[in-house]
Amino acid sequence: RYAFYTEMHHARKITRLAQEGGAARLHADLGAPCPRTVVQLGGAEPEWLANAYVALAEAGYAEVNLNLGCPSDSVQAGCFGAVLMKTPERVHDIIRAVDAKRLSVPFTVKCRVGVDELDSDAYLQQFLATITQATSLDHIVIHARKAHLKGLSPKENRTIPPLDYARVYMVKRAFPHLRITLNGGLHTTEEVRAQLLQADGVMVGRKFRDSPMFIQELDRGMLAERLHSV
């Protein structure tokens, strides 16, 4: 039931590696795919992203995720990451390009609840309505903090913007047909359990990085809940 996400890799890099040595070269650089390995992609060019998706799918990775949440200066300079939330039409073009080459491997999106001044329920609804229109996109991971593209470092962007879980819940109500995974600020089994009452799934990042054994604690907590409900 767990999926494991890689760090973000640029689409041009993935395509180059695949051209150099196929699946073996990708496995050497990214690690061999496990049954639930999700590769995070970065980029802004639809054709490059579509080609990278095909290369990863053919190399055996379980899922490919487009990162629309990274606010770093270098990523912004390449016009990808969180800055793409300001141009939903471009994101839509990317997803349509992937759909044109679609294999059985899912292509998903990870975004923020807002970016800079585009920080409202209405904008997030408009953004998601645009990128999902006439596409196969049906799973979105939402980091429950807005992205500040100026004034905060990537590290600060993970902690300083306040968590807005209510906006993620709003998305699930507005788009009940989409699978919504909530990310941000989850540190205990109790917090994970509470969010699973509102969202279809949760993503835990820094807690696993800082406390790798948390996965065992989470397993025990969720198993105890299932046994109690029998």
Token pair for 177: 């047909």
Burial 159-194 (b: 16+ CB within 10 A, else e): eebebbbebbbebbeebeeeebbbbbbbeebeebee
Return the amino acid letter for 104: S
CA distance 108 to 3: 13
Q: Which of 6, 18, 12 is nearest to 57 (CA)?
A: 18
Active site (annotated) includes residue 111 = no
- Which 3 state secondary structure label does DSSP give 115? strand
For helices 46-58 and 11-30, the axis angle rounded to 10 degrees is: 20
Catalytic residue among 34, 70, 79, 111: 70
Within a 13 Å sphere around the CA of 195, how many CA atoms are in the beta-carbon half? Answer: 26
CB–CB of 68/84 below 8 Å?
yes
CA distance 208 to 20: 33
Indicate which residues carry an active-site annotation: 70
